[in-house]
Structures are given as C-alpha cells and as structure tokens.
Amino acid sequence: MPNLDDATRPLTVAGLFAGIGGVELGLQAAGMRTELLCEWWEPAQAVLKHRFPDVPLHDDIQTLQALPDVDVVTAGFPCTDLSQAGRTAGIHGKASGMVKHLLELLEDASPRWVVIENVRNMLALDRGTAMEYLVSEFERLGYTWAYRLVDSRFTGVPQRRHRVIFVASRTGDPCSVLFADEAKELPEKDYREDAFGFYWTEGNTGLGWAKDALPTLKGGSGLGIPSSPAIWVRGARPGRAIVTPRIEDAEELQGFPRGWTRAALEVTRPGVRWKLVGNAVTVGVSEWVGRRLRNPGKFDETGNLILPKGMKWPTAAWGNSDERWSVPASLWPESHDYRHLLDVVDSDEAAPLSLRATTGFHTRLLKSRLRYSEEFSQALKEHSEYMTHPVAVTH
C-alpha cells in the first residue's frame, strides 16, 4: 500500500475495554481504521471476533505490554463502580479501577488523541473524586483534556442516554473536537405522546421516565439483573399497552445494525445480550467524535469560567496542568433527524411485560411518593388484569 499524506491517510485506532465495538464502529464510519482491540469478557469477545475478524484481539489489558503506534487510543473503561445502577465503589473500585492500566500504557506511548467514555455519575460520585483522579493523571502525563456530557438522542436515536465523552491530547486541542459543535435539543412539542419508556425494575424512588424514547439502556438494574426497560403504548389494545422491546430494538437504539450481538449466543445465554448492549457506546456519538478528530473545528471561548480545584464538576470543561475552565456547552452538539420510539420498536412484535413484573412495579409505584399520571397507573392495572386472564390477541 502506498504511503499516504498524513492529512489524508485514515487515522489508526487501538480500542481498549472495547466491549462490542461501539466506539470503533463509529470511528470506522468516520473513516478510521482499527489496529487493535482489547476486551476480556468472553461474550463481548465473541461479538468482536465476528464483527472485526481481521483486527487483532487481546484478551486482558492487565497483560497488554504496550500500545501499538496508533493515532487514537479509546477506552470505555468499566462503569460498574461509577454508575448509579452499579456498586458505586468509585474510581478505585475493582472494575472501574482498571483505568489505571490505561494510564500505565500511556506512560510509554504517544497517541495523538485519547478518547474515554463513561457514565454521567462519574462527575458527581464521591464529590467528583473520579473526575479529579482522571484529569489529574492526564495532567501529570502532560495532556490537555476536555470533556462534554452528551445525550445520545442528538444522533437521532430515541434513547435518552447521558454519557461523558473525554478527549485528551499532548499535541492537539481537545476543545476543537468537543466544543466546535453546538445545537439545541429537539423541542418538547416534537416528541410524540404515543409512547413512554420506563424501567419496570424501579418504582420506589424513580421511573427512568422518557417521553417518545427509552431511558438509558443499562448493563444491570437495581434488581441485579440485566433487563430491558418497558414501554407504555398509550391507547393500545389489551396486551399491547405495556410491552418490552426486543434485543434487536435495543441494538438499533444504540446505533448498531440489528443482530449485532447475535454471535454472543455461541458462548452465553440470550439475556446477556442486554448487558452487552447496555454497556456499549452509542455508535452515532463516537462517529461524531471521529469526524471532529479528523477535522477539528473552531472553539468559541465565550462564556468560559475559571474552574477552581475542588469545585463541583460542570457538564463540560477543559484544562491542563496550568488551568481549568468550565464550558457552557449543551448536551446536543448536533441535531440529527429524530426517529420516534414507535418507529424503531414495533409494539405489535414486542413482548408484553409479564404479570409478575407489572404487578411488582405497580405496587411499588402506588406506595411511592413519585408523580405519575393516573392514565399510566390505569394502564398498568388493566395490563395486570389482562395478563391474569389473557385472551387471544389478533394482529
């Protein structure tokens, strides 16, 4: 292959904590080439082997001796100890603490960019200890860093998913990647009122409620099991008003082709696919980052404020070893054509929520102090009655 001018050759990528390849698939769509994947979990490995057959796959970051000479290193390190659905043990927990191996590898590597993705809760957990550790370590290594909280809905998928995107570089300007784009959230009137997503595993202190969208797809739940959210299809016939999406719906809601995780069935049970998809990075989000890595934009510093150490972490910021600034960036860097929830999920094909799940959720909801519509409560009641004495549902 002939040598290409540096400005036109595809950027190369090493994907650590690769999961099912959401970051890499998005970067590939932005014109990049993956040179290495690293993932320890066997079901995720099965997906990567099937979807990226020509890319070397290392099985454990703890035994990875060095990073290849690539332009971009990505790391969606485990959020288990950071997320509200997890153990919240913090950045030094057994799972999330694996990020230290990334930092050790970066001691002897010089990628142009480092891209990290993680849950929103890392900004607040232990009064921001996780973020302070992360940015301090990158500052120690000589990086300028920036992060931005984004909502996956900006990519057009009907999933309200807030994630921190963190970009660092020793030679480039991460602000020109993360803050060059600014859009407005879809107006409230543009969300339809025919379907509402919620988590049936909740009901005591929250609902995960989302209008014309699903709440964040998760790798686990408060009940300790990977599970799908549910959908209230307003005005639907009996047996179709409270349903759960299929795993293929979830894959599409994360920006993957339907069936993306099917290869995992070779090594695990079907329910694990929900955890694989729930742990993934929305493909459209990483594609946006990839486009800006290849073609950084202009950063407008208007409204930036000095961010003293010890202050609450804002939803967007940048800094280096000399200074830190908060940035008034929205959760929507772009605004793509929105796909409504029932345009992705066929409610006639979705499974009705089970009687046990429905009654358990409804019971918790009635005992709680949460605000909810009486119409929703009535729909749950009628669904429970239908599931107790089902009748044939014609399509």
**CB 241, CB 248: distance < 8 Å:** no
Residues contacting 60, CB < 8 A, separation 6+ = 38, 40
Which member of 79, 150, 195, 345 is catalytic?
A: 79
3-state helix, strand, coil in the chain (%, to 5): 30, 15, 50
Can you tell me whether residue 268 is helix, strand or coil? coil
Rounded CA separation 228/231 (Å): 10
CB environment 8-31: b (16+ within 10 A), e (fewer): eeebbbbbbbbbbbbbbbbbbbbb
Query: What's the burial of 141, exposed, middle or buried (CB within 10 Å: 0-12/13-18/19+)?
Result: middle
Q: Is residue 79 annotated as part of the catalytic site, yes or no?
A: yes
Rounded CA separation 338/156 (Å): 4
Rounded CA separation 7/294 (Å): 9
Structure tokens at 225: 């099991």
The residues assigned a catalytic role are 79
